[in-house]
């Protein structure tokens, strides 16, 4: 039966689909709408549903998402390590072991000796409750999550320049009317394919432009439509931004009235950008001066004809030790052109993980409390403590960021016990070999997961939890739209929700505060905790979402209908003006040399998601993706003595990765590309290093010095 169209901007409740359950995809931040039909996991089928974000489309991961629910690798009993092996046990035994380990560790080393590592795929309710559990039950400051490695630089830059962070401060549908879109380190053709439908007008008018070291499928789409591929050297993004600002100002494309009326600090950034002549930018980045000029001209032309112009950043630009400054520089370009806060134009960031936006708003980050409040703000601490029924003085302060937390495990003064939820750092962390050693050094490692991920495989206790179609909750997508996740099937006997696990553990370790196991109750408390904060959910209810309302935060008594478009009346700064912040180009933290003459950069492929712990278990996806590979220019491979389809070693100062060579004449000869979804000998993050952005604490995933050699 064909699906009925759903009006743009409206979600649907379960009642709209009496034969199925209306929900959203388990994967990326686009959160495509789908209907799940079937009485149990074995029978469950997926059908795309029309929604503003995906317009009735799904990618290969979405189509096969039900396969995750019936994988034979599903964990259904807790595991504990005995005599070096993980063996099944009862929930009573597993939780007692975890609770005893927490109590003993705190008694011996203090509260901060117990740490928590969360994930950007947790629902809003679980993200909120995990932060509360860590700070109230465990009384630890040591909590962070894998979203630190995803959106933190863009978030820091957004707060710095706009006063607030929301991935897209406008509905994704606005982009669909634009005739010019500049994608910065973004490859949605592989990471979120349904998003491409919003880029069709730009592509059709030769206005799709992609800045990326590789000729990705997205860049190829741009060229096919007469657009541009800015094939820059990894780590030179800030130089590119400064050069584009230079062109915009010197060639008459700057919006002087906008700069004067809606911004501050232009002269500070111009003092730097004035030195970045196009010829200098070409020498540093490899992007031709003619391409720089055409990029700015295309954006300005679309802006001036009211057809829309957007700049959208993603991980390729952000995952650097200078990621915050780089995004700041591109925001400055958008401000020079007068784009943010005007209808039909803007700057945004494409959120990667399924709840990457909501996951960072509600307290998983070491420096944040719910509602996107700062943990070191006395007023924020007082508000949240009142909701939690504790004294503000009992709230811990800021803790370590994600990599710093993992790198401190098992060391003097570092955490001795770690609880991991929704993450697989053995594969996903930078300097993954070093992180694995730190995880092995712990007195207690507890992993909650639904399969035996590489991190779970080295744990002391593994707790089997629910999968996406087995739980109720909410998520927040890349445009700040709060969505309902609905339960479609019952979980296997023996699996429990994290909400139940935290409630049990809090009781076992002697915490007098109650922790609800009902996600609806948790969301109601989240609403109170976020009230008055930057990410205010106070007027959002499950009832409104179930009735079909599609609500963007902030949504409060003052803004009961939500806020699809930010900045139209002013920016979230004290004076209402956006800020130009002066930044310089610094380049990669690690430079190539004769021993490591190439730049290694990492990314994703269409069929896999994050560390691959889920998608590698889906036969259709694993078969289509093939084995771990390294993408190399033929001349580069010839110099290293390796040929197409041969196994090569990629070596950095930190480790060695084995991969099948894929020759590609479109690659830069000084760059090799590795996807990061595989484990073992094919683990790309054995190579990457953890130079950290001083503001966001983002590691530099996108540039490290490597060499290519024949595998021995």
Domains of the chain: 79-142+355-552 (3.40.50.740), 152-350 (3.40.228.10), 598-710 (2.40.40.20)
Decide: residue 528, CB within 10 A, 0-12 exposed, 13-18 middle, 19+ buried.
middle
Number of H helices, E strands in the chain: 24, 28
Residue 12: predicted pLDDT: 42
Report the C-alpha gap between 712 and 558 in whole angstroms. 66
3-state DSSP assignment of residue 688: coil
Report the C-alpha gap between 116 and 418 in whole angstroms. 6
Report the C-alpha gap between 287 and 212 in whole angstroms. 10
pLDDT along the chain (712 residues), means of 10: 30 51 93 95 95 94 94 96 97 98 98 97 97 98 95 95 96 96 97 95 97 97 98 98 98 98 98 98 98 98 92 96 98 98 95 86 94 96 98 97 97 97 96 97 98 97 97 96 96 96 98 96 98 97 92 96 97 98 96 96 93 93 95 98 97 98 98 97 96 97 97 83
The chain-wide mean pLDDT, for the chain, equals: 95
Report the C-alpha gap between 130 and 122 in whole angstroms. 9
Report the C-alpha gap between 228 and 476 in whole angstroms. 32
Length of the chain: 712
Report the C-alpha gap between 443 and 105 in whole angstroms. 8
- Chain-centroid distance of CA 315 in Å reads 8
Tens digit of pLDDT for each residue in 427-457?
999 999 999 999 999 999 999 999 999 999 9
Q: Is-contact 405 366, C-beta < 8 A?
A: yes
Residue 17: predicted pLDDT: 47
Q: Is-contact 114 396, C-beta < 8 A?
A: no
pTM equals 0.95
Residue 2: predicted pLDDT: 24
Report the C-alpha gap between 336 and 333 in whole angstroms. 5
- Give start and end residues of each alpha helix (H) in 410-533: 425-428, 432-440, 498-508, 519-530
Contacts of 497 (CB under 8 A, 6+ apart): 465, 466, 471, 517, 519
Q: Is-contact 60 46, C-beta < 8 A?
A: no
Report the C-alpha gap between 319 and 364 in whole angstroms. 20
Residue 351: predicted pLDDT: 83
3-state DSSP assignment of residue 347: strand
Rg (CA), the chain: 24
Torsion of the alpha carbons at 666, 670, 671 and 672, rounded to the nearest 10: 90
Pairing of strands 208-211, 228-230: parallel
Output the six-digit token pair for 199: 């880029």
Residue 657: predicted pLDDT: 98
Residue 550: predicted pLDDT: 85
Reported as type and span, the H/E element at residue 663 is strand 656-663
Report the C-alpha gap between 135 and 139 in whole angstroms. 4
Buried b (16+ CB within 10 A) or exposed e, 11-49: bbbbebbeebbbbbbbbbbbbbbbbbbbeebeebebbbb
Please list the residues that pair with 35 across neighbouring strands. 22, 47
Report the C-alpha gap between 18 and 594 in whole angstroms. 65
Q: Is 138 left (phi over 0), alpha (psi -120 to 50) or beta?
A: alpha
Decide: residue 337, CB within 10 A, 0-12 exposed, 13-18 middle, 19+ buried.
buried
Residue 307: predicted pLDDT: 81
């Amino acid at each position: 039966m064909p699906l009925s169209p759903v009006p743009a901007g409206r979600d649907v409740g379960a009642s709209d689909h009496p034969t199925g359950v209306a929900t959203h995809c388990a994967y990326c931040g686009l959160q495509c709408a789908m209907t799940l039909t079937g009485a149990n996991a074995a029978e469950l089928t997926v059908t795309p549903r029309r929604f503003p974000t995906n317009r009735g489309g799904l990618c290969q991961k979405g189509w096969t998402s039900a396969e995750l629910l019936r994988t034979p690798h599903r964990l259904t009993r807790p595991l504990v390590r005995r005599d070096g092996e993980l063996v099944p046990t009862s929930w009573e035994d597993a939780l007692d072991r975890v609770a005893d380990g927490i109590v003993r560790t705190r008694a011996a080393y203090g509260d901060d000796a117990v740490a928590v590592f969360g994930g950007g795929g947790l629902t809003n309710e679980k993200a909120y409750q995990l932060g509360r559990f860590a700070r109230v039950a465990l009384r630890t400051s040591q909590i962070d999550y894998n979203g630190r490695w995803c959106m933190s630089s863009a978030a820091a830059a957004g707060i710095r320049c706009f006063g607030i962070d929301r991935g897209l401060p406008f509905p994704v549908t606005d982009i669909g009317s634009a005739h010019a879109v500049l994608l910065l380190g973004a490859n949605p053709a592989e990471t979120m394919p349904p998003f491409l439908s919003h880029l069709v007008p730009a592509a059709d008018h030769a206005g799709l432009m992609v800045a990326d070291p590789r000729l990705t499928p997205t860049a190829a789409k741009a060229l096919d439509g007469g657009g541009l591929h800015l094939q820059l050297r990894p780590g030179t993004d800030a130089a590119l931004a400064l050069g584009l600002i230079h062109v915009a100002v010197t060639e008459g494309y700057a919006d002087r009235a906008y700069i004067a009326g809606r911004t501050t600090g232009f002269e500070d950034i111009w003092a730097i950008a004035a030195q970045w002549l196009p010829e200098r930018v070409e020498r540093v980045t490899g992007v031709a001066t003619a391409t720089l000029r055409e990029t700015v001209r295309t954006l300005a032309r679309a802006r001036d004809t009211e057809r829309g112009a957007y700049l959208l950043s993603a991980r390729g630009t952000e995952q650097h030790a200078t990621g915050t400054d780089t995004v700041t520089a591109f925001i400055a370009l958008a401000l020079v052109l007068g784009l943010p806060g005007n209808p039909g134009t803007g700057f945004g960031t494409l959120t990667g993980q399924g709840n990457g936006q909501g996951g960072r708003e509600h307290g998983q980050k070491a420096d944040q409390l719910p509602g996107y409040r700062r943990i070191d703000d006395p007023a924020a601490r007082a508000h949240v403590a009142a909701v939690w029924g504790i004294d503000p003085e009992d709230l811990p302060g800021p803790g370590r960021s994600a990599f710093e937390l993992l790198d401190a495990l098992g060391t003097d003064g570092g955490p001795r016990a770690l609880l991991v939820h929704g993450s697989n750092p053995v594969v996903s962390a930078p300097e993954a070999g070093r992180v694995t050693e730190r995880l092995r050094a712990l007195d207690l490692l507890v992993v909650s997961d639904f399969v035996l991920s590489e991190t779970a495989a080295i744990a002391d206790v593994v707790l089997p939890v629910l999968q996406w179609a087995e739980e109720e909750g909410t998520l927040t997508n890349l445009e700040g739209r709060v969505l309902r996740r609905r339960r479609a099937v019952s979980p296997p006997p023996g699996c429990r929700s994290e909400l139940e696990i935290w409630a049990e553990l809090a009781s076992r370790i002697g915490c007098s505060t109650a922790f609800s196991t009902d996600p609806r109750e948790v969301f109601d408390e989240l609403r109170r905790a976020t009230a008055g904060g930057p990410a205010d959910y106070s007027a959002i209810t499950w009832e409104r979402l179930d009735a079909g309302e599609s609500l963007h935060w902030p949504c409060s008594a003052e803004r009961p209908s939500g806020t699809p478009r930010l900045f139209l009346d002013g920016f979230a700064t004290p004076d209402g003006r956006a800020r130009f912040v002066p930044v310089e180009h610094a380049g990669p933290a690690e430079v190539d040399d004769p021993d490591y003459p190439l730049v290694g950069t990492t990314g994703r492929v269409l069929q896999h998601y994050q560390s691959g712990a889920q998608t590698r278990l889906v036969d259709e996806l694993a078969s289509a993706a093939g084995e771990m590979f390294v993408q190399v220019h033929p001349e580069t491979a010839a110099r290293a003595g390796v040929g197409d389809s041969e196994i090569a070693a990629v070596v950095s100062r930190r480790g060695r990765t084995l991969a099948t060579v894929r020759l590609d004449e479109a690659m830069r000869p000084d760059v090799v590309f590795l996807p990061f979804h595989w484990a073992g000998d094919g683990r790309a993050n054995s190579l990457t290093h953890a130079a950290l952005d001083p503001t966001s604490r983002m590691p530099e995933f996108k540039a490290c010095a490597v060499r290519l050699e024949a595998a021995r």
